[in-house]
């Protein structure tokens, strides 16, 4: 991918814009002219590989995203850029081809893509900005199921983008902190996300989008990013709603959440990481190739190394997201959040059945003096009883943890929360094994079933139409409800959540008030 540059200063709104239905149409945006091409559906114009920041290479490695110089001529935006540096894995457990990154990787990766159904700049359509998941170690805007055409056909202008990953996106180090004007380091991937949102704010009207109606959405690490952006003062006024799928919307250490490290702790880990690479100084680190940065240390346990993820740096993130909520300092926007039934048993494999004896031992270890109360609510005297107790207690605890998260949020937020539980298994040979696994909802909510070769049925297509309509409605209005859709209420005092997928109806958090009360007490203790 040829490097390009632009200035981050916004250009006048009066910039030239030809009718969006015109083939090869040109749009004058920040940095110069770009030309798009029709998508697989000719009613959608696509613009792929638009730079939104300078290539973070050389001395810009581990720096905040920087402005670029405008490019000459017309930039042909007809293909995805390289993905950010990561290990490419063709398939992993339940995540088959359509869930994975496949194109080239490069440090020069800060590009975005626009998918628009608009016919003119005057359309002012709602904007949907998607943030990919991947544990902050992998992922790409070029992943097939993230394609923006599906939701664009629902009347949204969709933006997808790349952000730096792993050590190149989240390394903190004392020298990096020292050279920073804000005396912070480590959150470069988050700063990339904020830079992309600035680009949207300055340019999306030229593609028929409304910069005053922007929804950010993400799954897994993308969901955690959504929460971090909601907590970051640097993202203030850059978005107006949030969708957080499967990440960070629970309390009590339940579910998918990464407790952010402090700057001092992350700096110490960064120093250790540099030492494993033989780098004594920041200059030494920047002198290494990205292949050397990514290379595993011979003989080292890969699970014991530093965890590259967002941290509390005092600048991008002044505190953890939950602390920011408690202080009432978040960007207060309507939020949709939820998880999948398959996540309740673990991400990487189905939850294995346990014996009655093992289940009881686990209960006593986890719940201490409350264990006997737990075992009365979820009897496990036989192995058969245990399978039911294991399944129901895991589900109930997760739903109560999500409900309590919304209750904590409601103490300082004025906006509504819509919560869901996804219960539909993707069709395929492993459907019974993995069920509604982590991220299995994405092709349905993104309206991208056509990007997969799984044996989808008419039922799948109906579920996809329903789910993508909920998501599109929420992005447009802050309320997922619409004509022909089962009613979905915002979370209130009633302890229930919306089940979506095979069934689409409100369900109680647990089988009885006593079970809800048990987990509410336990989780509120912060265990």
Positive or negative, the CA dihedral 249, 195, 217, 328 is positive
Q: Which of 421, 420, 163 is nearest to 308 (CA)?
A: 163
Taking a C-beta distance cutoff of 8 angstroms, is the pair 326, 409 a contact? Answer: no
Asked whether residue 83 falls in the same domain as residue 165, the answer is: yes
Q: Say if 18 falls within a structural domain.
A: no
> What is the distance between the alpha carbons of residues 516 and 495, in angstroms, rounded to a whole number?
8
Among 322, 272, 276, 267, smallest CA distance to 299 is for 276
Look at the block and give the residue holding tokens 């056909």: 153
Q: Are residues 147 and 76 in the same domain?
A: yes
Which residue, among 58, 106, 56, has the nearest Cα to 285 in the 3D structure? 58
Q: Are residues 209 and 266 in the same domain?
A: yes
Please indicate whether residue 343 is annotated as part of the active site: yes
Question: 313 and 62 in contact (C-beta within 8 Å)?
Answer: no
Query: Three-state DSSP class for 133?
Result: coil
- Which is catalytic among the residues 343, 419, 441, 520? 343
Residue 19 confidence (pLDDT)? 47
Where does a domain end: 331, 363, 390?
331
The verdict on 325 and 400 lying in the same domain is: no
Please report, for residues 49, 379, 474, 476, 510, the alpha-carbon distance to residue 482 in angstroms, rounded to integers and kept in the order given. Answer: 34, 42, 9, 11, 28
Helix (H, G, I), strand (E, B) or coil at 90: coil
Q: Give dist(CA 206, CA 124) in Å, integer.
A: 9
Say whether 424 is catalytic: no
Task: In whole angstroms, give the CA distance from residue 341 to residue 92.
Answer: 19
The whole domain housing 349 covers: 339-524
Residue with tokens 């499967």: 246
The verdict on whether 372 is a catalytic residue reads no
In total, the chain counts a number of residues equal to 527
pLDDT of 304 reads 62
Residues 142 and 105 in one domain: yes
Say which residues have a Cβ less than 8 Å from residue 406's Cβ, sequence separation at least 6. Answer: 249, 337, 417, 419, 491
| pLDDT value, residue 69 | 81
Domain for residue 19, yes or no? no
- On whether residue 4 sits in a domain, the answer given is no
Question: How much of the chain is in helix, strand and coil states, percent to nearest 5?
Answer: 35, 15, 45
pLDDT of residue 307: 86
Question: What is the pLDDT tens value at each position of the chain, 527 positions in all?
Answer: 334 333 332 333 333 444 444 445 799 999 999 999 999 999 999 999 999 999 999 999 999 999 988 999 999 999 999 999 999 998 888 999 999 999 999 999 999 999 999 999 999 999 999 999 999 999 999 999 999 999 999 999 999 999 999 999 999 999 999 999 999 999 999 999 999 999 999 999 999 999 999 999 999 999 999 999 999 999 999 999 999 999 999 988 776 777 899 999 999 999 999 999 999 999 999 999 999 999 987 766 655 667 899 999 999 999 999 999 999 999 999 999 999 998 876 655 456 678 999 999 999 999 999 999 999 999 999 989 999 999 899 899 999 999 999 999 999 999 999 999 999 999 998 898 899 999 999 999 999 999 999 999 999 999 999 999 999 999 999 999 999 999 999 998 889 999 999 999 999 999 899 999 999 999 987 64
Q: Burial, 462: exposed, middle or buried (Cβ in 10 Å; 0-12, 13-18, 19+)?
A: exposed
Inside any domain, residue 486: yes
Which DSSP category does 14 fall into?
T
| CA distance linking residue 49 with residue 161, whole number of Å | 9
Give the E-state strand segments of 68-109 in sequence order.
74-76, 83-84, 105-106
- The pLDDT score that the predictor gives to residue 23 is 42
* Region label for 391, one of left (φ > 0), alpha (ψ between -120 and 50) or beta (otherwise): alpha
Distances (CA, A) of 14 to 10, 20, 29, 31: 11, 16, 10, 15
Q: What is the pTM of this model?
A: 0.93
Q: Are residues 272 and 360 in the same domain?
A: no
- Kindly state whether residue 39 falls inside one of the protein's structural domains: yes
485 and 375 in one domain?
A: yes
Longest alpha-carbon distance in the chain: 74
Q: Residue 277 is inside which H or E element, if any?
A: none
| Residue 176 burial (CB count, 10 A) | 20
* Residue 107 token pair: 């440090």
3 state DSSP class of 262: strand
Shared domain check, 305 and 377: no
How, if at all, do strands 209-219 and 125-131 pair? parallel
The one catalytic residue in 438, 452, 469, 520 is 438
Contact yes or no for 469/447 (Cβ under 8 A): no
Looking at the structure, tell me whether residues 344 and 321 fall in a common domain: no
Q: Do 405 and 459 have their domain in common?
A: yes
* CATH code of the domain covering residue 168: 3.40.50.1820
- Tokens coding 49: 């590989």
Residue with tokens 């120093």: 271
Query: Considering 220, 225, 232, 393, which one is annotated as catalytic?
Result: 220
Task: Name the domain count of the chain.
Answer: 2
CA–CA gap between residue 489 and residue 401 (Å, rounded): 19
Q: Which pLDDT does position 420 carry in this prediction? A: 97
């Amino acid at each position: 991918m040829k490097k390009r540059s632009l200035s981050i200063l916004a250009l006048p709104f009066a910039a030239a814009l030809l009718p969006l239905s015109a083939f090869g149409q040109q749009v004058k945006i920040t940095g110069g002219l770009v030309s798009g091409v029709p998508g697989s559906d000719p009613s959608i114009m696509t613009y792929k590989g638009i730079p939104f920041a300078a290539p973070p290479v050389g001395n810009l490695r581990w720096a905040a995203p920087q402005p670029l110089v405008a490019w000459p001529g017309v930039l042909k935006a007809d293909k995805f850029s390289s993905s950010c540096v990561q290990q490419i894995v063709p398939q992993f457990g339940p995540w088959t081809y359509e869930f994975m990154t496949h194109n080239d990787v490069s440090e020069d990766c800060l590009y975005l893509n626009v998918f628009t159904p608009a016919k003119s700049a005057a359309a002012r359509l709602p904007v949907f900005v998607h943030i990919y998941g991947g544990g902050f170690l992998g992922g790409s805007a070029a992943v097939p199921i993230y394609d923006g055409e599906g939701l664009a056909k629902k009347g949204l202008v969709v933006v997808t983008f790349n952000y730096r990953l792993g050590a190149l996106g989240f390394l903190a180090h004392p020298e990096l902190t020292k050279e920073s004007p804000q005396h912070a380091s480590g959150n470069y991937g988050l700063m990339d996300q904020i830079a992309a949102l600035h680009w949207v704010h300055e340019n999306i009207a030229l593609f028929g989008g409304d910069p005053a109606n922007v929804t950010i959405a993400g799954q897994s690490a993308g969901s955690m990013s959504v929460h971090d952006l909601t907590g970051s003062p640097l993202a203030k006024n850059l978005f107006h709603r949030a969708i957080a799928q499967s990440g960070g919307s629970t309390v009590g250490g339940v579910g998918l959440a990464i407790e952010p490290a402090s700057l001092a702790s992350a700096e110490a880990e960064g120093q250790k990481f540099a030492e494993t690479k033989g780098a004594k100084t920041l200059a030494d680190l920047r002198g290494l190739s990205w292949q050397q940065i990514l290379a595993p240390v011979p003989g080292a346990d890969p699970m014991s190394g530093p965890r590259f993820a967002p941290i509390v740096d005092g600048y991008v993130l002044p505190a953890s997201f939950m602390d920011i909520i408690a202080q009432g300092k978040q960007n207060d926007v309507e939020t949709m959040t939820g998880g999948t039934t398959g996540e309740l048993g673990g991400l990487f494999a189905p939850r294995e059945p346990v014996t009655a004896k093992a289940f009881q031992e686990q209960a006593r270890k986890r719940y201490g003096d409350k264990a006997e109360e737990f075992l009365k609510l979820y009897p496990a005297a036989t192995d058969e009883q245990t399978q039911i107790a294991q399944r129901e207690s895991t589900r109930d605890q997760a739903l109560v943890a999500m409900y309590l998260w919304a209750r904590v949020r409601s103490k300082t937020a004025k906006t509504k929360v819509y919560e869901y539980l996804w219960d539909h298994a993707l069709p395929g040979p492993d459907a019974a094994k993995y069920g509604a696994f982590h991220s299995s909802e994405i092709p349905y909510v993104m309206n991208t079933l056509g990007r997969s070769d799984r044996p989808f049925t008419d039922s799948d297509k109906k579920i996809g139409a329903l789910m993508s309509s909920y998501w599109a409605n929420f992005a447009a209005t802050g309320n997922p409800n619409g004509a022909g859709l089962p009613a979905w209420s915002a979370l209130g005092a009633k302890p229930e959540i919306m089940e979506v997928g095979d069934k689409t109806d409100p369900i109680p958090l647990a089988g009885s008030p006593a079970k809800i009360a048990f987990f509410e007490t336990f989780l509120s203790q912060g265990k």
